């Protein structure tokens, strides 16, 4: 399923563009499944993925401080997961933002992030 958060072909890193105001085209973008590990398939199924530059994904020569996979469950990862859950509830439930919607999300992704 296509990402429900971003046009994959835009050539931009989601974090650079949305949070850092850097809308320049990035080479070597990598697709990131927002809920990874055991929830990777669910992320794929519901389109919860974004394109990230190497620095924001695994880290690169500029370091790993902001890299999602080097800081699992830290700021960027948590922020992205909250955004993804909100988008998921909006698209796939009838009552986004309610306890019921959070519960539906939790049943699929194992945890409520909101």
Residue 53 beta carbon to Zn ion: minimum distance, rounded to whole angstroms = 3
Q: How many Cβ atoms from other residues are within 10 Å of residue 5's Cβ? A: 20
Query: Rounded distance, CA 105 to CA 114, Å?
Result: 10
- Exactly one of 13, 34, 87, 96 binds Zn ion (CB under 5 A); that residue is 13
Task: Compute CA 78 distance to the chain's CA centroid, rounded to the nearest angstrom.
Answer: 9
In the set 6, 12, 16, 34, which binds Zn ion (CB under 5 A)? Answer: 16
* 105 phi, psi to nearest 5 deg: -65, -45
Q: Indicate the SS3 state at residue 31.
A: strand
Q: Which residue has the tokens 């530059």?
A: 53
Residues 31-60 interacting with Zn ion (rule: CB under 5 A): 32, 53, 56
| Residue 15 binds to Zn ion (criterion: CB under 5 A) | yes
67 binds Zn ion (CB under 5 A): no
Q: How many residues bind Zn ion (CB under 5 A)?
A: 6
How far apart are CB 98 and Zn ion at their closest, in Å? 29
Interacting residues toward Zn ion by CB under 5 A: 13, 15-16, 32, 53, 56
């Amino acid at each position: 399923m296509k990402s429900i958060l971003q046009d994959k072909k835009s050539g931009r890193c989601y974090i650079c563009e949305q949070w850092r105001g850097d809308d320049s085209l990035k080479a070597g973008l990598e697709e990131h499944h927002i809920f990874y590990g055991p929830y990777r398939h669910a992320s794929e199924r519901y389109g919860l993925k974004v394109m990230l530059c190497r620095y924001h994904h695994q880290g690169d020569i500029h370091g790993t401080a902001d890299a999602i996979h080097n800081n699992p469950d830290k700021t960027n990862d948590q922020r992205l997961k909250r955004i993804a859950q909100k988008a998921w509830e909006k698209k796939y439930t009838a009552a986004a933002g309610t306890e019921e919607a959070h519960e539906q999300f939790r049943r699929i992704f194992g945890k409520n992030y909101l």
